[in-house]
Amino acid sequence: MSAPLMLEVDAVSKSFAIPSVRRDTVREHVLAAFKPRRFDQLQVLDGISFAVARGEAVGIMGRNGCGKSTLLKILSGVYLPDRGTVQAHGSITPVLELGVGWNTELDAIDNVMLIGSVMGMSIAEIRHSLDDILAFAELERFAKLKLKHYSSGMSERLGYAIAFKAVRDVLILDEIFAVGDAGFKQRCEARYLELRAHGHTAVIVSHDPRIIATYCDRALLLDAGRVAFEGPARDVAAHYVSTLTHAGSAS
């Protein structure tokens, strides 16, 4: 019997209104204050449909601007689609813009409590996991340091460490394993494999063919907001590389 579905995406479309005329200076804004501003519609996603089964890892590839990040934000509930539907049959843990929501006047421990609770962890779970989270991010020495003194890399490591502990049913990942040094990336990969071994479902966006081919079962290749190619992850990764090669030779 086939595994039950965790995500069902049906004919999802999304567009954004883009100003047709730029106003960069104060003078331009003043002179145009009484003129209606015109907008163009930028179609980012156009009828995307796919499903993800329990325990499956699905990769999403494509060039910059093809709609990958917008799709992940719709799956995570950050954006609503203009048309189409997304049905989630389980809790989703998005790992998208790590560090969004930090209070930089608080230290790492207080931020772990804050972000962990936002991600659905109970206070008891956070306290129980606190040492593991700080160790995973290699921030034990800086636990009492305010985040305004952290480097961007330190904040990103802390974000990953919290997210990997907060995972419920479905893990949504944007450019996984792209943060930190080789040692931290190895810990992220090991934690991801551990989650998969326990039956978690994953949706991963990456430009790296190795990541998609190695860590996904199946993948989609997006082009101009549509699914251009779909199949086994290794086939999609190879097709993506082929399109880049042909584009480079054509130019």
Q: Sketch the domain layout of the chain as residue ranges.
A: 5-250
DSSP state of 100: T
Mean pLDDT of the chain: 87
* Band of residue 33 on the pLDDT scale cut at 50, 70, 90: low
Percent of the chain with pLDDT over 90: 54
pLDDT in tens, 160-193: 899 888 888 998 988 777 666 788 888 888 999 9
How many CA within 13 A on the CB side of residue 210?
3
What is the mean pLDDT of the segment spanning 19-37? Answer: 60
Cβ neighbours around 79 below 10 Å, total: 18
What is the mean pLDDT of the segment spanning 139-166? Answer: 90
DSSP 3-state of 38 = coil
Exposure pattern of 219-248 as b/e (b: 16+ CB <10 Å)?
bbbbeebbbbbeeebbebbebbeebeeeee
How far apart are the C-alpha atoms of 55 and 203, rounded to whole Å? 11
Residue 105, Cβ density class (10 Å: 0-12 exposed, 13-18 middle, ≥19 buried): exposed
Lowest mean pLDDT among 43-52, 83-92, 93-102, 137-146: 93-102
pLDDT (0 to 100) of residue 245? 78
pLDDT (0 to 100) of residue 99? 56
What is the mean pLDDT of the segment spanning 83-105? Answer: 83
- Between residues 70 and 25, which one has the greater pLDDT? 70
Q: Is the pLDDT score of 100 beyond 70?
A: no
- Between residues 181 and 53, which one has the greater pLDDT? 53
Q: What are phi and psi of 40, to 5 degrees?
A: -105, 150
* Band of residue 48 on the pLDDT scale cut at 50, 70, 90: very high
pLDDT (0 to 100) of residue 8? 97
pLDDT (0 to 100) of residue 118? 82
Q: Which CATH architecture has domain 5-250?
A: 3-Layer(aba) Sandwich (3.40)
Cβ neighbours around 119 below 10 Å, total: 19
Residues with Cβ within 8 Å of 64's Cβ and at least 6 positions away in sequence, in order, are none
pLDDT (0 to 100) of residue 217? 96
Residues with Cβ within 8 Å of 116's Cβ and at least 6 positions away in sequence, in order, are 125, 126, 129, 133, 162, 165, 166
The label of the residue with tokens 């995500």 reads 7
How far apart are the C-alpha atoms of 95 and 97, rounded to whole Å? 7
Q: Is the pLDDT score of 248 beyond 90?
A: no
How far apart are the C-alpha atoms of 216 and 244, rounded to whole Å? 20
* Band of residue 28 on the pLDDT scale cut at 50, 70, 90: low
What is the mean pLDDT of the segment spanning 12-37? Answer: 68
Q: Is the pLDDT score of 130 beyond 80?
A: yes
Intra-chain end-to-end CA distance of the chain, in Å: 48
pLDDT in tens, 211-228: 999 999 999 999 999 999
Cβ neighbours around 34 below 10 Å, total: 6
How far apart are the C-alpha atoms of 132 and 165, rounded to whole Å? 9
pLDDT (0 to 100) of residue 210? 92
Entry pTM: 0.82
